[in-house]
């Protein structure tokens, strides 16, 4: 590790910036976020630097650098286009054991400014030592996307109660475990949601309980995992998956999404496959309640959206009956994911002015639906769980007025790398050779919007 990462108390820093172009402006903007005092030396000044200096009452010496400018300065940024001047200031500052940074010239830097994710008072600083700035920006973008935008509220909340917790819990280990519970649990979530008063009340209660050795109450999070592509998870879903003690998941949750769950979380599979239920719904409901009552943070991870053919409502009813707290995190439902990644708009001015989501699930070898109302023109139909009953769906729609030539699409493993799309018509889809190879999970889309698939298919192969 060539560069030792430290954070300097900027309240006692006297900073000099030599140069006043756009490069110097970037350093000035950064240092202005701190309480450091700043002065600038440059024979000419850019509009950006002039504006910043005026806003913050910064002293500018419009002249060339003089050796005496280093007097009383503890940090120096050099941002001129004169290599000889840059070298001279570096050598002079180095001889006086001052921190000096010659911008974009790593060998002449006694310190470097890191890439920063600023959620003050929480600050994340990263560096590649000047060897991979593009990679560093890429990593920063990743961090920006997963950090809650309001994590600064957690920082302020922790600061407010730090002394109180320290006084109540003398053991460093006890304090660490307590703060982990606070930040990972319901209290931290309420802080992020802006429920400050409730969070403070909960912290007082939790602190008293922790002192008495009582474990906090468990909670259940019903999280929509989306159609399969992990990039389609919401930020909140990912955050809750990372704090879960137990994850209860179904067959439609992709392996890539499961990889994002907290490593040491217990994972319980409760999937169902083509009428072969590993565990029935009532048992799942009871399991969620049992795990929460044991004090766990339980994530019920469901493919798609919990409230669209996900039986989330049934699970919540059980939790309410047993007095268990819960939250619901919506996800991108399979219909939206499949349609978007197959290039099939569910509505289009020239094709469909409405869309219906329905189930194609077989019961007693039939599908009991209002077929007459479904078989409409200028309308899109999306069938969930309909692959086994595909022949019945086609027959019923034709019998109730849709032409045999009505387009239909089967989308297997929507949004995933192995997505497959088979298109045809109500009259011929069963005879398509590729139809026999389609496996669940598959969504069925019916309507003239399917004709747009070939033109708009941006993601995967079709058959």
**Which range (260-274, 314-328, 426-440) has the least confidence?**
260-274
Q: Is the pLDDT of residue 25 over 90?
A: yes
Mark whether 243 is an active-site residue.
Answer: no
Give 14's pLDDT tier (boundaries 50, 70, 90).
very high
What pLDDT score does 428 carry? 96
Q: What is the average per-residue pLDDT within 8-12? A: 90
Query: Which residue among the candidates 272, 290, 293, 432 is catalytic per the annotation?
Result: 272
- Check if CATH label 3.40.50.1000 holds for domain 10-113: no
Distance CA 332, CA 385 (A): 17
**Which range (7-21, 197-211, 363-377) has the least confidence?**
363-377
What pLDDT score does 356 carry? 96
Contact 178, 165 (CB under 8 A): yes
**Which range (19-23, 178-182, 189-193, 320-324) has the least confidence?**
178-182
- Check if CATH label 3.30.950.10 holds for domain 336-456: yes
The number of residues making up the chain comes to 463
Q: Is the pLDDT of residue 462 over 70?
A: no
The proportion of the chain whose per-residue pLDDT surpasses 70, expressed as a percent, equals: 97
Long-range pairs of 358-363 with CB within 8 A, sequence gap ≥ 24: 358/382, 358/383, 358/384, 359/309, 359/383, 359/384, 359/385, 359/386, 360/384, 360/385, 360/386, 360/387, 360/388, 360/389, 360/390, 360/393, 360/444, 361/385, 361/386, 361/389, 362/275, 362/388, 362/389, 362/392
Distance CA 371, CA 329 (A): 32
Q: Is the pLDDT of residue 297 over 60?
A: yes
What pLDDT score does 460 carry? 67
407-421 pLDDT per residue, tens:
999 999 999 989 999
Q: What is the average per-residue pLDDT within 446-461? A: 90
What pLDDT score does 312 carry? 92
Q: What is the average per-residue pLDDT within 347-361? A: 93
Domain ranges of the chain: 10-113, 151-211, 219-332, 336-456
Q: Which CATH architecture has domain 151-211?
A: Orthogonal Bundle (1.10)
What pLDDT score does 195 carry? 92
Query: Which residue among the candidates 229, 250, 302, 420 is catalytic per the annotation?
Result: 250
* Burial 33-46, CB ≥16 within 10 A → b, else e: eeebbbbbbbeebb
The fold of 219-332 is Cobalt-precorrin-4 Transmethylase; domain 1 (3.40.1010)
Highest mean pLDDT: which range of 109-123, 145-159, 295-309: 295-309
**Which range (5-9, 65-69, 144-148, 409-413) has the least confidence?**
144-148
What pLDDT score does 183 carry? 87
161-204 pLDDT per residue, tens:
999 999 998 887 678 778 988 887 889 989 988 899 999 999 99
Tokens of 228: 């399969």
Mark whether 272 is an active-site residue.
Answer: yes
What pLDDT score does 401 carry? 94
Q: Is the pLDDT of residue 461 over 70?
A: no
Give 118's pLDDT tier (boundaries 50, 70, 90).
confident
Contact 113, 99 (CB under 8 A): no
Distance CA 94, CA 97 (A): 5
């Amino acid at each position: 590790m060539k560069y030792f990462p430290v954070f300097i108390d900027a309240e006692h820093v006297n900073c000099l910036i030599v140069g006043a172009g756009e490069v110097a402006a970037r350093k000035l903007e950064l240092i202005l976020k701190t309480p450091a005092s700043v002065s600038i030396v440059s024979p000419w000044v850019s509009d950006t630097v002039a504006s910043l200096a005026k806003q913050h009452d910064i002293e500018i010496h419009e002249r060339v650098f003089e050796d005496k400018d280093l007097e009383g300065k503890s940090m120096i940024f050099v941002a001129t286009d004169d290599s000889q001047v840059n070298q001279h200031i570096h050598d002079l500052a180095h001889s006086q054991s001052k921190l000096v940074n010659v911008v974009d010239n790593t060998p002449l830097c006694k310190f470097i400014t890191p890439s920063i994710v600023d959620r003050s008072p929480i600050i994340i600083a990263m560096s590649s030592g000047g060897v991979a700035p593009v990679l560093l920006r890429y990593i920063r973008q990743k961090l920006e996307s997963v950090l809650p935008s309001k994590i600064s509220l957690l920082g302020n909340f922790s600061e407010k109660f730090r002394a109180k917790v320290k006084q109540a819990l003398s053991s460093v280990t006890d304090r660490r475990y307590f703060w982990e519970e606070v930040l990972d649990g319901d209290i931290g979530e309420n802080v992020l949601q802006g429920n400050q008063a409730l969070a403070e009340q909960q912290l007082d209660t939790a602190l008293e309980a922790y002192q008495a050795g009582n474990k906090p109450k468990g909670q259940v999070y019903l999280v929509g995992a989306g159609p399969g592509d992990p990039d389609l998870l919401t930020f909140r879903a990912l955050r809750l998956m990372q704090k879960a003690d137990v994850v209860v998941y179904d067959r439609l949750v992709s392996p890539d999404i499961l990889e994002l769950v907290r490593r040491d979380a217990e994972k319980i599979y409760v999937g169902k496959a083509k009428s072969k239920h590993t565990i029935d719904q009532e048992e799942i409901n009871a399991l969620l309640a049992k795990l929460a009552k044991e004090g766990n943070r339980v994530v019920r991870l469901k493919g798609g959206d919990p409230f669209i053919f996900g039986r989330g409502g049934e699970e919540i009813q059980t939790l309410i009956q047993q007095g268990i707290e819960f939250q619901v995190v919506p996800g991108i439902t399979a219909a939206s994911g499949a349609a978007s990644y197959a290039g099939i708009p569910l509505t289009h001015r020239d094709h469909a002015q409405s869309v219906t989501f329905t189930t194609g699930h077989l019961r007693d070898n039939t599908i009991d639906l209002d077929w007459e109302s479904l078989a409409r023109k200028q309308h899109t139909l999306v069938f969930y769980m309909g692959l086994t009953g595909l022949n019945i769906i086609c027959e019923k729609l034709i019998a109730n007025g849709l032409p045999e030539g009505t387009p239909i699409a089967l989308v297997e493993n929507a949004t995933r790398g192995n997505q497959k799309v088979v298109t045809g018509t109500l009259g011929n889809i069963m005879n398509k050779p590729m139809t026999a190879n389609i496996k669940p999970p598959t969504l069925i889309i019916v309507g003239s919007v399917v004709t747009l698939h070939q033109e708009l298919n941006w993601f995967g192969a079709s058959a």
